[in-house]
C-alpha cells in the first residue's frame, strides 16, 4: 500500500507538469481552434535555456527570467510570423503550420546546442519524506509553479476584462468580433500565454529531467492526452486530466516493464480518442462538425 501511495504522490507531481502543458494546449484550442503541436517544444525551450544559462554560471533567478522571456518571445513570434499570416486558411493547414514550427524550433536548438542533455542544479536539493512516501524536493517546485500558473490563468480568465474577452472569442468568434474584440489579437495573446506557461513548467522541470532538444514531442503528447481527458477545449479539464494522467502513468509504470512506461500515456490517448473523444470529464456531449 505504501508503494501505491508512493506512485500516487510521484504521479501527482509529474502530473502537475502535464497539467501545465495541457492547459496551454486547451487554451490555444479554445480560442483559435488550432491544436498547437509546438506546445511541448515551448517546455523544451524553457527548460533548455534555463539549464544552459545555469550551467554557464548565471544565478537561478535571472536565468529563469531569461528563459521565460525568451520562450514567451518565441510564442509571440509563432503567432505573428506563422499563424497570423495564414489566418484565413482552413484549421488543418494551421495545425500543419504548428507542426512545421515545432520541427524548426527543435532543429534550430539542435544546431545551436547539440544533442547532449543539460543539467541544472535543483532549486532545493534533497528528498522530502513523509511516512513511507518520499519525493524529490524539486517536484514541489514543479507542483508549486503549476499551481501558481493555474491560479493566475483562472484569475485572468474570470476577473479581468482581457480574460473575459478571450473567453468571448472562445465561445463565439463572430459574436466577439461584433462586440469589438479582435480574434487575431486574442490569438496572439493566447499563443504568448501558452508559451509563458510552458516555459514556467520547463524551468521547474529542468533539474529533474535533464533537458535536450528532443524532449519536446513526448511532453507535448502528454499535454495533448491531458487536454483530451478534459475534452480538449476545457482549461480546468486539462489540469485535472494532467494530474490523472500523471498518476495513471506512475502506477502503471510501477507494475510494467520499464521500457513500456511512455507507452502508457500514448495508449491512454488512443483509447480515449477511440472510446470517448469528447473527454472523460464531460457529461454533456458537445456536437461539433
Partner 1 sequence: MRRLLLGYAIFAAILYAIPGIFTRVHPYTMSDGVQMAILAIAALGLIPLTGYANQISLGQAAFYGTGAYASAILTTHSGWSPWLAMLVGAALAGGGAYLLGLFIFRVSGHYLALATIALGLVLAIVARQLAITGGSEGIPGVPYLSLFGVEVVGDVDYYYLTATALLLATLVVGLVVRSSLGRSLTAVGDSAFAAAASGIDIARYKRVAFVLAAVLAAVAGSLYAHWVTYIDVHTLDLLLSIQMLIVVAVGGMRTVWGAALGSFIVVSLVRFSKEWLPALSEKAGGQVEIVAYGTALILVLLFLPRGVAGGFADLFHRLRSTAGTAREPASAVAAAGAGTAEAAREIAQAGSQRGERP
Residues that bind partner 1 (CB under 8 A): 35, 82, 85-86, 89-93, 95-97, 99-104, 106-108, 110-111, 114-115, 217, 221, 224-225, 228, 232, 257, 259-260, 262-263, 266-267, 269-270, 273-275, 277-278, 288-289
State which residue, 10 or 36, has the beta carbon closest to partner 1: 36
State which residue, 91 or 160, has the beta carbon closest to partner 1: 91
Strand partners, 119: none
State which residue, 107 or 144, has the beta carbon closest to partner 1: 107
What is the distance between the alpha carbons of residues 194 and 23, in angstroms, rounded to a whole number?
8
Considering all CA atoms of the chain, what is the largest pairwise distance in Å, rounded to the nearest integer?
58
Smallest gap from residue 21 Cβ to partner 1 (A): 14
State which residue, 16 or 35, has the beta carbon closest to partner 1: 35
| φ, ψ for residue 129, nearest 5 deg | -125, 125
Smallest gap from residue 104 Cβ to partner 1 (A): 4
Smallest gap from residue 24 Cβ to partner 1 (A): 15
Smallest gap from residue 112 Cβ to partner 1 (A): 9
Closest CA to 6 of 172, 132, 156, 163: 132
Element spanning 270, H or E: helix 261-275
Helical ranges in 129-234 per DSSP H: 137-159, 161-171, 173-178, 183-205, 216-229
| Secondary structure letter of residue 215 according to DSSP | G
State which residue, 27 or 204, has the beta carbon closest to partner 1: 27
Amino acid at each position: 500500500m505504501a508503494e501505491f501511495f508512493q506512485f500516487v504522490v510521484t504521479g501527482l507531481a509529474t502530473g502537475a507538469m502535464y497539467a501545465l502543458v495541457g492547459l496551454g494546449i486547451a487554451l490555444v484550442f479554445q480560442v483559435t481552434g488550432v491544436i498547437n503541436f509546438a506546445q511541448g517544444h515551448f517546455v523544451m525551450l524553457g527548460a533548455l535555456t534555463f539549464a544552459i544559462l545555469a550551467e554557464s554560471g548565471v544565478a537561478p533567478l535571472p536565468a529563469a527570467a531569461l528563459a521565460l522571456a525568451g520562450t514567451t518571445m518565441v510564442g509571440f513570434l509563432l503567432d505573428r510570423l506563422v499563424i497570423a499570416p495564414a489566418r484565413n486558411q482552413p484549421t488543418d493547414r494551421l495545425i500543419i503550420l504548428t507542426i512545421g514550427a515545432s520541427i524548426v524550433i527543435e532543429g534550430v536548438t539542435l544546431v545551436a546546442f547539440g544533442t547532449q542533455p543539460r543539467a541544472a542544479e535543483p532549486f532545493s536539493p534533497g528528498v522530502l519524506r513523509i511516512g513511507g512516501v518520499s519525493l524529490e524536493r524539486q517536484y514541489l517546485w514543479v507542483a508549486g509553479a503549476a499551481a501558481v500558473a493555474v491560479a493566475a490563468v483562472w484569475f485572468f480568465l474570470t476577473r479581468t476584462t482581457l480574460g473575459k474577452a478571450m473567453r468571448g472569442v472562445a465561445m463565439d468568434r463572430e459574436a466577439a468580433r461584433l462586440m469589438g474584440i479582435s480574434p487575431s489579437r486574442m490569438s496572439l495573446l493566447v499563443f504568448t500565454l501558452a508559451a509563458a506557461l510552458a516555459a514556467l513548467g520547463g524551468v521547474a522541470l529542468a533539474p529533474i529531467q535533464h533537458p535536450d532538444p528532443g524532449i519536446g514531442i513526448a511532453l507535448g503528447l502528454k499535454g495533448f492526452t491531458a487536454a483530451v481527458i478534459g475534452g480538449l477545449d476545457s482549461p480546468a479539464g486539462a489540469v485535472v486530466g494532467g494530474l490523472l494522467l500523471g498518476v495513471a502513468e506512475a502506477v502503471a509504470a510501477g507494475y510494467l516493464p520499464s521500457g513500456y512506461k511512455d507507452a502508457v500515456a500514448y495508449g491512454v490517448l488512443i483509447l480515449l480518442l477511440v472510446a470517448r473523444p469528447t473527454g472523460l470529464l464531460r457529461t454533456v456531449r458537445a456536437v461539433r462538425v
